[in-house]
Amino acid sequence: MTEGRIGHGWDRLLHRPQDDHDRRQPFFGLTVVTCEKGDMRQTVDGIMIYGNEKREVPIERGVRARKAELTELYEAVEKGKKMSHDGRWGEATLEVCLAILQSAAERREIHLKHQVPVIDR
């Protein structure tokens, strides 16, 4: 989308000034998560929870554009630090992505088998 263009519908929701982009979450489309006691969806600044009450949980601003993973790799190679984002983590992440697609296509719950705990660094 070019700067200054006025969009229609979803286009308009996705357009932000460039300087505002780094302060907000990236938007890849609407995702609604249904849980036992309510629903959740992503907002530009966090997660909106719809349960007994509606509330937004802000998400801390972090490093963007894979800088965190590249820094982690550098520190593992150069300083011998343990990596959180290793091959097992990548497999678990891919499993979640594929399960989302399969669940949507088959309209059923998909059980995950390759999830791993987060490694404290």
Q: CA-CA distance, 49 to 65, in Å (whole number)?
A: 26
Which has the higher per-residue pLDDT, 3 or 95? 95
In tens, the pLDDT along 8-65 reads 444 444 444 444 445 566 667 788 899 888 999 988 888 999 999 999 998 877 666 5
Q: How many CA atoms lie within 13 A of 84 on its CB side?
A: 10
State the Rg of the chain over Cα: 18
> What is the enclosing helix (H) or strand (E) of 12?
helix 10-14
pTM: 0.48
Given a cut of 80, is residue 92 above it in pLDDT? yes
Beta bridge partners of 98: none
- Give the SS3 label for residue 53: coil
In Å, what is the CA distance from 59 to each residue of 43, 78, 97?
Answer: 10, 30, 21
Instruction: Provide, for the chain, the percentages of residues in helix, strand and coil under a 3-state DSSP scheme, each rounded to the nearest 5.
Output: 35, 15, 50
